[in-house]
Amino acid sequence: MVEAAFGAINLELHSGTHPRLGVVDDILFHPLARASLDEAAWLAKAVAADIANRFQVPVFLYAAAHPTGKALHTIRRELGYYQPNFMGNQWAGWTMPDMLLEKPDEGLSKLSRARGITMIGARPWIALYNIPILSTDFSVAQRVARMVSARGVGLPMVQTLGLVHGKDSTEIACMLLESNQIGADRVQNQVEMLAAEGVEVEKGYFTDFSPEMIIENYMNLTSAQRD
């Protein structure tokens, strides 16, 4: 999949409304079923070394895969992930220097403008939940995102980002770091409460499968292969 992505996408020719530092921007390993976090971290580090060696891409490790548990959002902030470089809050082409100031955990500091940077981590399950806001005023999404996030003294263990979403709406992209404690319903209610009067907030949606669905699909696949 990584090889196919690098073969299909050239970051210098790419533009979009979602921040990114690389073609394969982020790979996260979660321990599911009886797997441990240590096993997930070992696998993350092995994949990081393989990607760096095979594709000559700088790789930064985070969370349990990093020696000190460095957070993903910290690395992203240091590398300028959250700073759009094109009109209309877009990210276009490649604007970083050819050499990284900070040495990556795997690979060389020299960058490929076509491929960019990859970040790889391991941590317990994170739920990704996006909430559409029917407003073209991006400042509304930014304001609500800041107020909902833990960084903005909002909900604990919730990270958010305001995004442009099509021509007629924006959305709040939410990472629920402890979804068993702070779930999607609570985040949804908080966004609806904080949105300005007259701004319509739609029901949010998960962008990923649940752990239970992944395990079930895997078990069905292995069972079919045995048959």
Name the pTM for this structure. 0.89
Q: With the CA atoms of 62, 63, 69 and 75 taken in that order, what torsion angle do they form, in degrees rounded to the nearest 10?
A: 40
Claim to verify: residue 6 and residue 111 sit in the same structural domain:
yes
Q: Is residue 6 part of a domain?
A: yes
Tokens standing for residue 84: 């759009």
Which of 14, 18, 66, 73 does the annotation list as catalytic?
A: 18
Question: Do 148 and 117 belong to one domain?
Answer: no
Residue 99 and residue 14 share a domain = yes
* CA dist., res. 66 & res. 60, Å (int): 8
Is 227 among the domain residues? Answer: no
Asked whether residue 224 is assigned to any structural domain, the reply reads: no
DSSP bridge pairs for 171: 132, 163
Per-residue pLDDT of the chain (227 residues; tens, 9 = 90+): 999 999 999 998 888 878 889 999 999 999 999 999 999 999 999 999 999 999 999 999 999 999 999 999 999 999 888 787 777 677 788 778 889 988 999 999 999 989 999 999 999 999 999 999 998 888 899 999 999 999 888 999 999 999 988 788 899 999 999 999 999 999 999 999 998 777 899 999 999 999 999 999 989 988 888 76
Which residue type does 148 have?
V
Assess if residue 51 is contained within a domain: yes
Structure tokens at 99: 């050499």
Residue 14 falls in the annotated catalytic set: no
Residue 30 domain flag: yes
**Do 33 and 138 fall within a single domain?**
no
Q: 163 is in which domain, residue-wise?
A: 127-207
The verdict on residue 160 lying in a domain is yes
